[in-house]
Amino acid sequence: MDFTSDLPVLRAKVDELADGAVEQLSQLMAIQSVSSLNPDGVNEHAQAVADAARAAGAADATVVSEAGGLPAVIAHWPAPQGQPTILLYSHGDVQPTGDVSQWHSEPFVATKRGERLFGRGSADDKGGVVSHLTALKAFDGNPPVGVTLFVEHEEEIGSPSMTSIIEAHKDELAADVIVVADSVNWDQGEPSVTTTLRGVADCVVELRTLDHPLHSGQFGGVVPDALTAMCKLLATLHDENGDVAVAGLHSAEPASVEYPEERLRTETAILDGVDWLGTGNPADKMWTRPSLSVLAIDATPVAEAINILPSVCRAKVGLRVAPGGDATQDLEALMDHLRTHVPYGAQVEVTPGEAGAPGVVPFEGPYAEIANQAFKAAWGTEPVQMGTGGAIPLITDLQHAFPQATVLVTAVTDPDSRMHGLDESLHLGDFRKAILTEALILAGMAK
């Protein structure tokens, strides 16, 4: 694909629209659309996206919901005769902020520092929402192909009703190409397409050793307390090297790229002297193998501690499922492990949480080649084909619903974006390149 004629025109248009894109992103970031905590904010954000789609030339923009779930926005720019339809996906819900005092600026106030825009949702994934809208504005709301904009608001809680939405609105969502702008680029200034994603699942384990708490001096050393028993149970999830020790979990083929340790050290800000978990290539451990994390523990807070032996303790364990695995089966293997490795004969109850499928997304075919050349034109380099440890279960749902569609998993973020964390941010130069790439993809697929 030759973008010689399209590139200067679209680059100039994106440059013209860039300040407005940042302003629109800032306005959406101010809406506290935390799907786990604030349904009113989610509804407000969905309506704002629908309004923005209409302002960008959509023939229709509808807020929909199914199965009692949170809303999604579906908007259409109908295809000219003989042209394909491209589905542009992103999500408008965000994670909670955590301890606001640890942020360097207000989480829901977009703040520019240097070349980065800081605030919750800047990178994950309101930047993706605005990149779609701005790419459409580059054609003055009349793209040369059909476009469907699909913005959900449940991604951060596992997309529980998205399967129902896809089933109920399948005809409205049907497309030849699906662009999912919700991953991470290889580096700042260096784009990627994601070809594998891990799935996600979790469970809560509750462990009891006593009918009621006991005096720690009177009975300590004889009766096992629930918190110590929980620590011993959770320690069985990994072996002495830090590798996952749960039998029956799926692993995929090794990654095809190396992840330099020094880069990983910089990105993670791991403390001096702290060892890495597990053995082998970091890319394999993050992308192609399962991982287990203790996400939370319910026990007596230190500030409220008295000299008693806790009778009960609860913990939430998170599982990342390797590409090609079955999230439900792997979750059951984890739960079996927890039930059968309980120390001291303690009573245990394990409750499953949500399970989201991993993804395998080949970057191949004529539409992928057009996208590859669009990246090269916009960024000056072809995208790195990489995996990611994060999960986007909706991708598998879309692949099942539209098996003939080419799926492209792109990004507006980089490894410094701190998605889900403190001081989340978006690099504005990369944001502009991501918009230009998408505009070129739409132009190229019309040819």
- Looking at the structure, do residues 112 and 29 belong to the same domain, yes or no? yes
- 348, two tokens: 């245990």
- 34, two tokens: 């935390």
- 320, two tokens: 């990342």
Q: Give the per-residue pLDDT at 158.
A: 83
- Looking at the structure, do residues 395 and 427 belong to the same domain, yes or no? yes
- Looking at the structure, do residues 181 and 204 belong to the same domain, yes or no? no
In a domain, 25, yes or no: yes
Rounded-to-integer distance, Cα 418 and Cα 435, Å: 21
Q: Give the per-residue pLDDT at 393.
A: 81
- Looking at the structure, do residues 311 and 251 belong to the same domain, yes or no? yes
Q: Give the per-residue pLDDT at 392.
A: 85
Q: Give the per-residue pLDDT at 404.
A: 96
Strands (E), 65-145: 72-77, 85-91, 111-113, 116-118
- Looking at the structure, do residues 46 and 180 belong to the same domain, yes or no? yes
pTM for the full predicted model: 0.89
Tell me if 357 sits within 8 A of 152, measured CB to CB.
no
Q: Give the per-residue pLDDT at 264.
A: 92
Sign of the alpha-carbon torsion through 111, 116, 118, 122? positive
Q: Give the per-residue pLDDT at 3.
A: 78
Q: How far is CA 217 from the centre of its chain?
A: 47
- pLDDT tens for each residue of 69-100: 999 999 999 999 999 999 999 999 999 999 99
- pLDDT tens for each residue of 186-206: 999 999 999 999 999 999 999
- Looking at the structure, do residues 231 and 101 belong to the same domain, yes or no? no
β-pair type (85-91, 146-152):
parallel
Query: Within the chain, which residues score under 50 in pLDDT?
Result: none
- pLDDT tens for each residue of 9-57: 999 999 999 999 999 999 999 999 999 999 999 999 999 999 999 999 9
3-class secondary-structure state, position 107: coil
Tell me if 42 sits within 8 A of 137, measured CB to CB.
no
Maximal CA-CA distance, the chain: 83
CA angle 327, 330, 333 (to 5 degrees): 150
Domain region containing 207? 199-255+282-356
Q: What are phi and psi of 10, to 5 degrees?
A: -70, -35
- 447, two tokens: 């040819």
Q: Among 309, 337, 356, where does a domain finish?
A: 356
DSSP one-letter code for 286 = I
Q: Give the per-residue pLDDT at 391.
A: 81
Name residue 152's beta-bridge partners.
91
In a domain, 192, yes or no: yes
Q: Give the per-residue pLDDT at 256.
A: 85
Angstrom distances, CA of residue 197 to CA of 171, 203, 295, 307, 358: 26, 20, 20, 46, 5
Q: Give the per-residue pLDDT at 390.
A: 83
- 26, two tokens: 């800032």
Total domain count for the chain?
2
C-beta neighbour count of 183 within 10 angstroms: 25
Q: Give the per-residue pLDDT at 252.
A: 95
In a domain, 10, yes or no: yes
Q: How far is CA 52 from the centre of its chain?
A: 23
